[in-house]
Structure 1
């Protein structure tokens, strides 16, 4: 099984040997591969430190999260670009986590859009998929993507939208949809939306340490808990957990070229 979105390098895992214990628990739970998207310039070093401890199990994505975009993000973006084009660029399987988030703060919409545009264009040029964070900003996100000469492959991470949102995204490109613990929540509409997406475009993720699935809701999330999300996805599709694991693993390997 693949957790396509986890931040096990964050301070929330400091007491777990800087995330290493959480990785070991995930591997024991059958989560063989985990993708670690970057957040900002301060998270690059701890991400790389954890990555180096588990070759063949951990993979990195490099990008600037939309809520971390500054008033003048050119220096931030220069660092991201330098890493993605540098001598160690082969360690990155995607550009992310990038996108737009207007839930908390709308004052930097212009800067977020420009940072997203630059990083998405870079991904297309490098032939890498994108991991898209989109919160309360779907029209703006799709506008940026539609403006690109070439739309990169990728995934809408932590997707919680409607069938209409799925259709709007597909009019731009045939993206994957990252499904996490939200699908297990009592009031979630995702179980009804998933058949419209189709299992061939579903990726499993945790977004650890956030959004822990039931029965761990309210606690710190970790990659091992993805088994609960897989069970909820299986129920929505009328499939076995083993079938969901097989298809979503193949989807992740295909999108991110995992080895």
Structure 2
């Protein structure tokens, strides 16, 4: 399996990071893709990338909830890193209007700028979109570059929104929310071709049932794979095979 989105550099794993990673490898995870948040998370992420160069693959980007007054300085740091390291993607980037809309315009500006960086470096993007699907899609359409590809991380939208994201050339990142009783993905996953889905945990956040409310970890991606299999009435192995291949294709961009 390829874990397409996990914050394994988080302080939540300060006491047992190695054990957590061992559980992931033992569960069959072959790679963990690490999204960045801001300049403060780069050091920890890059330490893991250096320790596990074939297994822990870093992205670089400014997360929308970290967009503040100094966002242009943060973007400069991201750009400098892109010029000196072969990241797999620009992420996680996007729009988040759930907690605070104070920096909505700055979030949009940061997103569009990072889309330009992704195209410049021939990379895909990892999108964070919370309470902002229409706004995020509108920006992608405004950017108007068919070469822009990537993942809508932690997708929790409707079937109509899923199809819209797919039409724009994006995969849907499916995580623990798929196991939630009222998560809504039971009305989406059965009707979306498996080739458009990739697996993630967003660890340490959004742990799947039966761990909901507790610290999430990468090994729980098995639970997500099983849930997708159950919803689509296919084998877990088929889910693993197809989603892993879809993830690998993104790396080839």
TM-score under structure 1 normalisation?
0.94
CA deviation after TM superposition for structure 1 residue 149, in Å: 4.4
**Which 4+ runs in 1 deviate beyond 6 A?**
none
CA deviation after TM superposition for structure 1 residue 214, in Å: 1.1
The answer to whether structure 1 residue 13 and structure 2 residue 13 are counterparts is yes
User: Cα deviations across residues 172-195 of structure 1 (Å, max 9, x unaligned)?
Assistant: x12100000110111122022013
The answer for the alignment partner of 2:165 in structure 1 is 169
User: Cα deviations across residues 107-159 of structure 1 (Å, max 9, x unaligned)?
Assistant: 10000000000001110121101000000111211121111142411000000
Any gaps of 5 or more consecutive residues in structure 1? none
State how 1:50-199 maps to structure 2 within 5 Å.
50-86=48-84, 89-90=85-86, 92-151=87-146, 152-171=148-167, 173-199=168-194
Deviates more, 1:186-195 or 1:1-10: 186-195
CA deviation after TM superposition for structure 1 residue 21, in Å: 2.4
Pick the aligned partner of 1:220 from 203, 215, 219: 215
CA deviation after TM superposition for structure 1 residue 165, in Å: 1.0
CA deviation after TM superposition for structure 1 residue 82, in Å: 0.7
3-state DSSP class of the match of 1:132?
Answer: strand
User: Cα deviations across residues 161-215 of structure 1 (Å, max 9, x unaligned)?
Assistant: 00121233244x1210000011011112202201332100000000000011111
Assess if the C-alpha contact under 8 Å between 2:158 and 2:188 holds in 1: yes
Assess if the C-alpha contact under 8 Å between 1:195 and 1:237 holds in 2: yes
TM-score under structure 2 normalisation?
0.96
The answer for the alignment partner of 1:43 in structure 2 is 41
Alpha-carbon distance in structure 2 between the residues aligned to 1:160 and 1:93: 24
User: Cα deviations across residues 55-91 of structure 1 (Å, max 9, x unaligned)?
Assistant: 21110111010000112411100000110122xx22x
Alpha-carbon distance in structure 2 between the residues aligned to 1:196 and 1:124: 31
Alpha-carbon distance in structure 2 between the residues aligned to 1:196 and 1:114: 34
CA deviation after TM superposition for structure 1 residue 20, in Å: 2.8
Alpha-carbon distance in structure 2 between the residues aligned to 1:168 and 1:42: 34
CA deviation after TM superposition for structure 1 residue 220, in Å: 0.4
Assess if the C-alpha contact under 8 Å between 1:202 and 1:251 holds in 2: yes
Please report the RMSD computed on the Cα atoms of aligned residues, expressed in angstroms.
Answer: 1.3
